[in-house]
């Protein structure tokens, strides 16, 4: 008979947490991942966005035309010139959950934050949080630390109406964090594109847009468009559209000023509407993937009470343009987002094409070229996959996980697994075997490369399609037909920290940059950092990711120091490796600056071996001798 264990489950086991303690303990429920600021989706940027969103909502309702934002070291201040929080509710609005004005759609009809949580989360996760509301010659203020009220009051003031918030994220939660200004600048630029007439001042620099989404797409395009950008605006919707010669799709999407990096119902509707409208216009049965190949554009819509998937609001889940319960009646719903977007695109894009017939043959020529290339390589890819299956290569290369990014739903209590779903792309049986042994089989998969992949930059699309390795990688990722079928949120390139490892890394990234650039634009691609050295004595062991960290560890440990140089992932034991791909995993985001052309990047790194590239490598790569020299 099985032993019955006594876990002392009684009245004392039931706890009631204070609002701020619940937020701090369950941070992922409110802001997604914590992080230290090295990734665009890290929590400190979500905190900043939550505060700016409130100021944006004031502007959207017609109050205040300027927002001042400063970031100095680790402290952020945001000052708007809207109505200001009602003086008697400043403390409640910043420290009581489910308290706010946005439940009343008359005051905030099309705001981003609707659940009364955002500012409270910032408060609870900040070591110092100060809020001041200025209204009609008075100032109501409050100061908190980690959500605990320290002081508050109402005093006379000569400041213009509006709200001032200053916060410093808590280092206990965001370990050794720092704000990377390129992420902040990108966020502020997007706000300016979406809110014509609004000036955002970031550390004294003004960001303002006169042409909305047209400015966004124009300034971010890294190639010459095949025809002038199409810019269409209507009530609650704005779109931009053109084609380029790059692969994939590059469509930015926004809801109520929020950058929905992972898309959602509005982006799906826009992609569908583009394909349907152009197909109907040409009266030919072109496939959607051929119509959208190389497309560049953006969509922004305004809806009431948007529903996002997750607190970070990067994917829209709403079905309707508005939806609310009416007392004594059924649910009052507006048109579906799909219908609204389709109707707008169908009418206004069709009208535009009839009025600008000079671009029509350019668009159709692009579609036909995409169709011809797709048909040419489809058979080649199929043969390559069948050949791989016959030799049982596929099962040896992919060690899959249980749950995937594109799963419709996760088991109860495991919703956060979706963001954690990862695939490690590594080289060789030794490294892949080590990772496979210690990975989390729920959300971490491993794909093993055999030797160096093909240099896709130098080869034709057909030649690439014949490559077994790359075909199997695409199949594992699930993006053969549509990026929306992506099976892993994080694509992590894990190669050795030597010249060969660097080369393999660049070959994999070149393939992704050339044929699936949207994976990089959406922030799905990373490089795994693994330690170069183990430094230890009888009492302590440290893992170091650079020469500087190694030398610092050597000085700290002082005597009896032993140094191990890891030349390959396979040299790291399974027990050690487990911590390197766990909760504190170090990842470098593969990102593209707005002004950079992927074609130019690939030409520099993977094209003809130029004098400039040779010197770049010499200046930026540490030699084996330098890595092995120990200065004790």
> Do 199 and 221 belong to one domain?
no
Tell me whether residue 384 is in a domain: no
Q: What is the pLDDT of residue 631?
A: 47
Same domain, 148 and 222: no
**pLDDT value at position 413?**
62
Strand (E) or helix (H) holding 370: helix 360-390
Looking at residues 591-601, what average pLDDT do you find?
60
β-bridge partners, 492: 424, 526
Cα atoms found within 13 Å of the Cα of residue 528, Cβ hemisphere only:
29
What CA–CA distance (Å, rounded) separates 422 from 438? Answer: 14
In a domain, 162, yes or no: yes
Query: Is it the case that residue 2 has pLDDT exceeding 60?
Result: no
Per the CB < 8 A criterion, the answer to whether 56 and 191 are in contact is yes
CATH number at residue 332: 3.30.230.10
Tell me the residue range of the domain where 237 lies: 213-370
Complete DSSP assignment for 320-333: BS-EEE-TTS-EEE
Q: Is the CB of residue 477 less than 8 Å from the CB of residue 425?
A: no
Does 317 map to a domain?
A: yes
Q: What's the CA gap between 427 and 451, in Å, rounded?
A: 7
What integer pLDDT is reported at residue 332 of this predicted model? 74
Percent above pLDDT 90 for the chain: 45
Task: Report which of residues 334 and 76 the model is more confident about.
Answer: 76
User: 410-446 pLDDT, tens per residue?
Assistant: 666 666 678 889 999 998 777 888 899 999 999 999 9
d(CA 331, CA 38): 44
CATH number, domain of 56, equals: 3.30.565.10
At 234 the pLDDT is 93
In this model, does residue 392 exceed pLDDT 70?
Answer: no
Is 631 within a domain? no
Helix axes 360-390, 468-477, angle to 10 degrees: 100
Q: Please tell me which residue, 256 or 387, carries the higher pLDDT value.
A: 256
Beta pairing partners, 449: 427
Q: What is the mean pLDDT of residues 278-290?
A: 95
Q: Please give the share of the chain, as a percent, with pLDDT higher than 70.
A: 83
Whether 73 and 197 map to the same domain: the answer is yes
pLDDT tens track for 146-174:
999 999 999 999 999 999 999 999 999 99
Mean pLDDT of the chain: 84
pLDDT, tens digit, 9 for 90 and up, residues 458-482 = 788 888 888 888 888 988 999 887 8
**Coil, helix or strand at residue 202:** strand
Query: Which residues lie closer than 8 Å to 74 by C-beta, 6 or more apart?
Result: 168, 169, 171, 177, 178, 179
Cβ-contact 50, 308 below 8 angstroms: no
Specify whether 191 is located in the same domain as 226: no
Question: Quick check: helix, strand or coil at residue 621?
Answer: coil
Reported as a pLDDT band with limits 50, 70 and 90, residue 275 is very high
Strand partners, 393: none
* Same-domain check for residues 308 and 354: yes
Q: Provide the pLDDT for residue 103.
A: 44
Confirm if 76 and 164 have CB atoms less than 8 A apart: no
Domain count for the chain, please give it: 3
Q: Domain check: are 266 and 395 in the same one?
A: no
* Count of residues in the chain: 632
Predicted confidence band of residue 30 (pLDDT cuts 50, 70, 90): confident
The 3-state DSSP class for residue 133 equals: strand
d(CA 501, CA 569): 10
Structural domain contains residue 599: no
pLDDT at 395: 57
Q: Is the pTM of this model over 0.85?
A: no
Per-residue pLDDT tens over the stretch 529-547: 888 899 999 889 998 888 8
Between the ranges 113-127, 296-310, 352-366, where is the mean pLDDT highest? 352-366
Summarize pLDDT for 38-72 with one digit per residue, the tens.
888 889 998 999 999 999 989 988 899 999 999 99
- Using one digit for the tens of pLDDT, what is the confidence trace for 88-140? 999 999 998 766 555 455 544 555 554 457 899 999 999 999 999 999 899 99
Q: How much is the pLDDT for 451?
A: 77
Rg over alpha carbons for the chain, rounded to the nearest Å, is 27
SS3 call for 175: coil
Encode pLDDT of 512-521 as tens digits: 988 898 898 8
Q: What is the pLDDT of residue 168?
A: 97
The phi, psi pair for 150, rounded to 5°, reads -100, -40
CA atoms of 128 and 75, how far apart (whole Å): 9
Q: Exposed, middle or buried: residue 455 (CB in 10 Å: 0-12, 13-18, 19+)? A: middle
d(CA 382, CA 474): 12
> What number of CA atoms fall less than 13 Å from residue 308's CA on the CB side?
23
User: What's residue 560's pLDDT?
Assistant: 86
| 142 found inside a domain | yes
Is 254 a member of any domain? yes
pLDDT value at 256 more than 90: no
237-241, 261-265, 348-352: which range is least confident on average?
261-265
C-beta atoms surrounding 504 within 10 Å: 22
Q: What is the mean pLDDT of residues 493-504?
A: 83
Q: What is the pLDDT of residue 1?
A: 43
- HSE-up of 269 (CA within 13 Å, CB side)? 28
Q: Are residues 449 and 483 both part of a single domain? A: yes
Domain assignment present for residue 237? The answer is yes
Question: In Å, what is the CA distance from 189 to each residue of 65, 79, 215, 264, 603?
Answer: 15, 17, 10, 22, 28
Domain identity same for 194 and 217: no
Compute the average pLDDT of residues 574-591.
84
So what's the pLDDT on residue 279? 96
Tell whether 282 and 347 lie within a shared domain: yes
Q: State the Cα–Cα distance between residues 424 and 407, nearest whole angstrom.
A: 19
Examine the domain organization and report whether 120 and 235 are in the same domain.
no
Q: Mark whether 399 and 421 lie in a shared domain.
A: yes
Give the relative orientation of helices 337-355 and 265-282 as an angle to the nearest 10 degrees: 40
Residues 199 and 68: their CA atoms lie apart, in Å, by 9
Looking at residue 121, its pLDDT comes to: 92
Residues 488 and 396 grouped into a single domain: yes
Identify the CATH number of the domain in which residue 419 sits.
Answer: 3.40.50.670
């Amino acid at each position: 008979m099985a032993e019955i264990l006594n876990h002392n489950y009684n009245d004392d086991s039931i706890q009631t947490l204070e609002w701020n303690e619940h937020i701090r303990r369950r941070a992922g429920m409110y802001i997604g991942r914590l992080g230290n600021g090295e990734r665009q989706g890290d929590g400190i940027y979500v905190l900043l966005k939550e505060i700016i969103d409130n100021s944006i909502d004031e502007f959207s309702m017609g109050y205040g035309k300027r927002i001042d934002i400063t970031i100095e070291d680790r402290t952020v201040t945001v000052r708007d010139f809207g109505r200001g929080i009602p003086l008697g509710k400043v403390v409640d609005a910043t420290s009581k959950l489910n308290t706010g004005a946005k439940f009343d759609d008359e005051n905030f009809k099309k705001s981003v934050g609707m659940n009364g949580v955002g500012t409270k989360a910032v408060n609870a996760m900040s070591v110092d949080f100060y809020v001041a509301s200025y209204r009609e010659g008075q100032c109501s203020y409050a100061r908190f630390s980690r959500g605990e009220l320290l002081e508050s009051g109402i005093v006379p003031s000569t400041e213009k109406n509006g709200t001032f918030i200053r916060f410093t994220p808590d280092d206990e939660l965001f370990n050794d964090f720092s704000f990377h200004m390129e992420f902040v600048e990108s966020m502020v630029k997007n706000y300016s594109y979406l809110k014509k007439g609004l000036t955002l001042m970031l550390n004294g620099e003004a960001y303002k847009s006169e042409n909305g989404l047209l400015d966004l797409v124009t300034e971010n395009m890294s190639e010459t468009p095949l025809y002038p950008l199409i810019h269409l605006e209507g009530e609650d919707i704005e779109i931009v559209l053109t084609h380029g010669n790059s692969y994939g799709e590059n469509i930015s999407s926004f809801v109520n000023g929020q950058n929905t990096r992972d898309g959602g119902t509005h982006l799906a509707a826009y992609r569908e509407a583009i394909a349907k409208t152009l197909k109907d216009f040409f009266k030919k049965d072109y496939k959607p993937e051929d119509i959208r190949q190389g497309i560049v554009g953006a969509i922004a819509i305004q809806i009431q009470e948007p529903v996002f998937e997750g607190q970070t609001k990067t994917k829209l889940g709403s079905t309707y343009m508005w939806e609310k319960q009416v007392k004594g009646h059924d649910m009052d719903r507006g048109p579906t987002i799909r219908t609204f977007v389709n109707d707008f695109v169908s009418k206004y894009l069709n009208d535009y094409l009839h009025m600008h017939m000079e671009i029509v043959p350019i668009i159709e020529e692009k579609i036909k070229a995409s169709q011809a290339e797709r048909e040419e390589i489809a058979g080649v890819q199929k043969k390559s996959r069948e050949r791989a299956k016959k030799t049982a290569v596929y099962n040896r290369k992919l060690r899959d996980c249980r749950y995937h990014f594109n799963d419709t739903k996760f088991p109860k209590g495991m919703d956060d697994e979706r963001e954690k779903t990862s695939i490690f792309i590594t080289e060789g049986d030794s490294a892949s075997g080590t990772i496979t042994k210690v990975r989390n089989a729920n959300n971490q998969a491993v794909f093993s490369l055999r030797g160096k992949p093909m240099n896709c930059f130098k080869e034709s699309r057909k030649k690439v399609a014949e490559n077994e390795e790359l075909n199997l990688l695409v199949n594992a990722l699930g993006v053969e037909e549509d990026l929306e079928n992506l099976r892993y949120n994080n694509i992590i390139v894990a190669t050795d920290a030597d010249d060969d490892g660097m080369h393999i890394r660049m070959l994999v990234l070149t393939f992704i940059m050339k044929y699936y650039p949207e994976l990089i634009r959406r922030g799905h691609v990373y490089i795994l950092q693994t330690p170069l050295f183990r430094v230890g004595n009888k009492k302590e062991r440290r893992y170091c990711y650079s020469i500087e960290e190694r030398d610092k560890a050597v000085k700290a440990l002082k005597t009896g120091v032993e140094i191990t140089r890891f030349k390959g992932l396979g040299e790291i034991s399974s027990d050690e490796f487990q911590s390197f791909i766990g909760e504190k995993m170090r990842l470098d985001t593969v990102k593209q600056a707005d002004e950079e052309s992927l074609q130019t990047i690939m030409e520099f790194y993977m094209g003809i071996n130029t004098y400039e590239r040779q010197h770049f490598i010499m200046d930026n790569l540490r030699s084996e001798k330098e890595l092995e020299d120990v200065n004790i």
